[in-house]
Amino acid sequence: MQVLINGNHASAPRNGELLALLQQFGAREPFAVAINGNFVPKSRYPAVRVAPGDQIDIVQPIEGG
């Protein structure tokens, strides 16, 4: 299944598990996730499934001032 991660095409796991997708992408703490512009709380990651064409944004805080 194809999704967009940070604007790039990527293959998502067949079962659509968000946690598996984050591991596949190599996301490292700390980060935040939004799917189709909607923030996903970390507590929901295990239950969330992505769908073909979803736009997933994985963002990390930037240090500095």
As a whole number, mean pLDDT of residues 3-27 equals 94
**According to DSSP H, which parts of the chain are helical?**
18-25
Distant-in-sequence, close-in-space partners of 26: CB < 8 Å, separation ≥ 6: none
How crowded is residue 58: how many other Cβ atoms within 10 Å of its Cβ? Answer: 16
Sign of CA dihedral 30, 28, 45, 60: positive
Whether residue 34 contacts residue 19, with contact meaning beta carbons closer than 8 Å, is answered with no
Specify the pLDDT at position 61.
Answer: 87
pLDDT at 65 over 70: no
What pLDDT, on a 0 to 100 scale, did the predictor assign at position 33? 98
